Amino acid sequence: MAKPPVLTPRAEDFPRWYQDVLAKAELAENGPVRGTQIIRPYGYAIWERMQAEVDVRIKAAGAENVSFPLFIPESYLRREAEHVEGFSPELAVVTHAGGKDLDEPVIVRPTSETVFGEYMAKWTQSYRDLPLLLNQWCNVVRWELRPRLFLRSTEFLWQEGHTAHTSQADAAAYALRILHDVYRDFMVEVLAMPVLVGRKTVDERFPGAINTLTCEAMMADGKALQMGTSHELGQNFARAFDIAYLDGEGTQQHAWTTSWGVSTRMMGGLIMAHGDDAGLRVPPRLAATQAVVVVIRDEAGVAEAARSLVERLGADGVRVVLDDRTDTSFGRRATDWELKGVPVRVEVGPRDLANGQVTVVRRDTGERSLQDANSVAATVPDLLETAQADLLATATAAQEERTVDAGSTEEAAAAAESGFARIPWSALGPEGEARLARSAVSVRCLQRPDGSVPVTDDEPGLVAVVARSY
């Protein structure tokens, strides 16, 4: 008799499966105020790893971390017309504080271009002060009508980079550098997600930007998730906040600014890109726990052998934990580690150990193998790298399989029912984009035919990647 599944199967109800994974793998749950979220220890440990890997890349790109305030005067937002129009419907407003009504209400930051603009203006006098490359890790609030944990929450955690440059070319190059060297590199190399990069169409740009670059990933249901964006803001915010500098000739000039961010939304992407019907599958380079050594039954030196294995793996730099909770059944614990997606499970039991062996289970493939108990530790680092590569290869193959070339708007709309469609931008255009929108299909990005990022929307031969999206 088959066991009832722990999770709703993906094919049966993908959104329900997603909710099941969040709950059963103890990743996150709803907070008390609508749309807010609680990230539980196992989920937060993964987020900490994401932060560490992104942060090291941000610092390598020369940006420095800072902390700007949660509260922004309402008046700041109004200084950039498109920006205030874009964000007004989502704002949370503090009207009362310290026991009385405030003279000027303050908003809870939905993003911080305005307040960074105000202070960048103070800190920028000469061209020698530029580029000014800043970043912060913080929480932001956007009031959501249809919240979903990690994907669309009223409060979320993110990093937001804000930079100022002496020329449009320098700003454009830096926005692209962040997209490639920070975001895409992290997503491909660590998250094992084969993200597409490209430009957003005018309709899909960030409010106040002259160009938005994006990383787009395919989820297991064929829908797209925007995983991170990098914006050229032109001189819009520099003019609104007077970020100006004296150039080499002593002439006052406005700076060119950028902003860019990734958020806890990537947690949702991770789940929906790699998860299967048994739960999460965490890529080894990301995993806070890369391997678990499970004591099946504590007899005949099993616990001791398991502890010594944990020590050896730890000494080799593997992030490993010991599971010796033998008062819980082995089956239940094994299911739990599968739910949590820990990449490698080493099962130590009395019968195998009597033969000098342990069982190694790969979470990504489910493959089990008996291995020599004395030499297994040395094989785990390679196995982790193999699993990392295989997860990326599997996701890449799935994405390619579900991406079709379409010749017309109708074909593109039909293809977007189950995946991505690629259609010449000259065949689609803003009119086709508007028609697709009626069936909830959007242009995720514009790319060159070779998948690289175009410099303008007008380059000949551009391809629009269209899909339904989260």
CA neighbours within 13 Å on the CB side: how many for 307?
7
Q: How is residue 279 annotated by DSSP?
A: B
Counting residues that bind a copy of itself (by CB under 8 A) gives 53
- Closest separation in Å from C-beta 376 to a copy of itself: 27
Helix, strand or coil, per DSSP, at residue 331: helix
Query: Binding to a copy of itself by residue 52, rule CB under 8 A?
Result: no
Taking the least distance from each CB to a copy of itself, the nearer of 72 and 361 is 72
Applying the rule CB under 8 A, the residues between 436 and 455 that interact with a copy of itself are: none
Q: How many residues does the chain have?
A: 470
Burial class (CB in 10 A: 0-12, 13-18, 19+), 54: buried
- Closest separation in Å from C-beta 303 to a copy of itself: 19
**Structural tokens at position 363:** 């979470």
Query: Binding to a copy of itself by residue 45, rule CB under 8 A?
Result: yes
Interacting residue with a copy of itself among 40, 239, 307, 312 (CB under 8 A) = 40
Query: Binding to a copy of itself by residue 94, rule CB under 8 A?
Result: yes
Taking the least distance from each CB to a copy of itself, the nearer of 65 and 369 is 65
Query: Binding to a copy of itself by residue 78, rule CB under 8 A?
Result: no
Taking the least distance from each CB to a copy of itself, the nearer of 39 and 192 is 39
Applying the rule CB under 8 A, the residues between 99 and 118 that interact with a copy of itself are: 99, 105-106, 108, 115, 118
Contacting residues for 295 by C-beta, under 8 A, at least 6 apart = 302, 303, 306, 322, 323, 324, 326, 348
Taking the least distance from each CB to a copy of itself, the nearer of 22 and 436 is 22
Taking the least distance from each CB to a copy of itself, the nearer of 74 and 411 is 74
Hey, how many other C-beta atoms are within 10 angstroms of the C-beta on 141? 20
Taking the least distance from each CB to a copy of itself, the nearer of 320 and 465 is 320
Amino acid identity for residue 446 in this structure: L
Q: What distance in Å separates the CA atoms of residue 171 and residue 128, rounded to the nearest whole number? A: 15
Cis peptide before 73 (omega within 30 of 0): no
Amino acid identity for residue 302 in this structure: V
Taking the least distance from each CB to a copy of itself, the nearer of 64 and 405 is 64
Stretch that binds a copy of itself, among 4-12, 13-21, 85-93, 304-312 (CB under 8 A): 85-93
- Site map (CB under 8 A) of a copy of itself, residues 120-159, x = contact: --------------x---xx-x-xxx--------xx-x--
For residues 304 and 329, the answer to whether their CB atoms sit within 8 Å is no
Query: Binding to a copy of itself by residue 216, rule CB under 8 A?
Result: no
Query: Binding to a copy of itself by residue 96, rule CB under 8 A?
Result: yes
Q: What distance in Å separates the CA atoms of residue 150 and residue 266, rounded to the nearest whole number? A: 8
CA-based angle 9:147:159, to the nearest 5? 105
- Closest separation in Å from C-beta 352 to a copy of itself: 28
Partners of residue 196 on adjacent β-strands:
216
For residues 197 and 213, the answer to whether their CB atoms sit within 8 Å is yes
Query: Binding to a copy of itself by residue 456, rule CB under 8 A?
Result: no
Residue found by looking up tokens 């925007």 in the block: 226
Q: What distance in Å separates the CA atoms of residue 322 and residue 308, rounded to the nearest whole number? A: 10
- Closest separation in Å from C-beta 182 to a copy of itself: 18
Taking the least distance from each CB to a copy of itself, the nearer of 289 and 388 is 289
Query: Binding to a copy of itself by residue 470, rule CB under 8 A?
Result: no
Interacting residue with a copy of itself among 4, 67, 332, 382 (CB under 8 A) = 67
The Cα-based distances of 22 to 14, 41, 58 in angstroms read 13, 12, 29
Query: Binding to a copy of itself by residue 38, rule CB under 8 A?
Result: yes
Taking the least distance from each CB to a copy of itself, the nearer of 52 and 434 is 52
Query: Binding to a copy of itself by residue 47, rule CB under 8 A?
Result: yes
The Cα-based distances of 101 to 12, 90, 95, 107, 110 in angstroms read 51, 22, 6, 14, 22
Q: What is the distance in angstroms between the CA of the first residue and the CA of the last residue of the chain?
A: 37
- Closest separation in Å from C-beta 308 to a copy of itself: 22
Amino acid identity for residue 45 in this structure: A
Interacting residue with a copy of itself among 17, 18, 44, 470 (CB under 8 A) = 44
Residues within the interface to a copy of itself (CB under 8 A) = 29, 31-33, 36-41, 44-45, 47-48, 64-73, 76, 88-99, 105-106, 108, 115, 118-119, 134, 138-139, 141, 143-145, 154-155, 157
